[in-house]
Amino acid sequence: MKRILVAMRMLRRNWSAGELRVLLLALLIAVASVTTVGFFADRVQAALDRQANELLGGDLVVIADKPLPAEFEQAARRHGLDVARTRTFPSMVSGGSGVNLAEIKAVSDGYPLRGRIRITERAGEPERE
C-alpha cells in the first residue's frame, strides 16, 4: 500500500512540475504523426493502383512467351471477364532525328479494358483519342 501512495505522490509532483505534460504532448504528437503518415500512404497506394490499371489496360495481365491456348480465353469469358490480346516486339523506327529503338504493340478489339488510348503525332502536340 505504501508503494502505491509513493507512486501517486511522485505522479502528482511530476505532473505539477510539467515533465509529464511534455511527455504526454510528445506522445500525442508522435501518435498523430504516425496516423497521418499511414492515412497518406493508403491514399497514395489507392491512387497508384487506379493508375496502374489504366497503364496496363486492365485489372490483370497474363504474360507468356508462347501464345496462350484458346481454352484459357474461353474460360475467362465463361466467368464473365473481358479479354483483350496484345503482342509486343522491339523494332527500329527511322525519323528526322535518325533511327531509334521502339516497342511496337499490336492490340485486339476491345483494348484497353480500362482507360483510353491517347496518341500524339509529335512531342508537344495535344493528345487525341
Each of the 129 residues of the chain gets a pLDDT tens digit; together they read 788 888 888 878 877 777 778 888 999 999 999 999 999 999 999 888 878 777 777 777 888 888 888 898 898 889 988 888 888 899 998 888 889 898 888 888 888 877 777 888 777 777 777
- Do the Cβ atoms of 113 and 82 come closer than 8 Å? yes
Strand positions, DSSP E, 42-85? none
How many CB atoms are located within 10 Å of the residue 72 CB? 13
What residues have CB less than 8 Å from 20, skipping those under 6 apart? 11, 14
What is the C-alpha to C-alpha distance for residues 29 and 127, in angstroms, rounded to an integer?
46
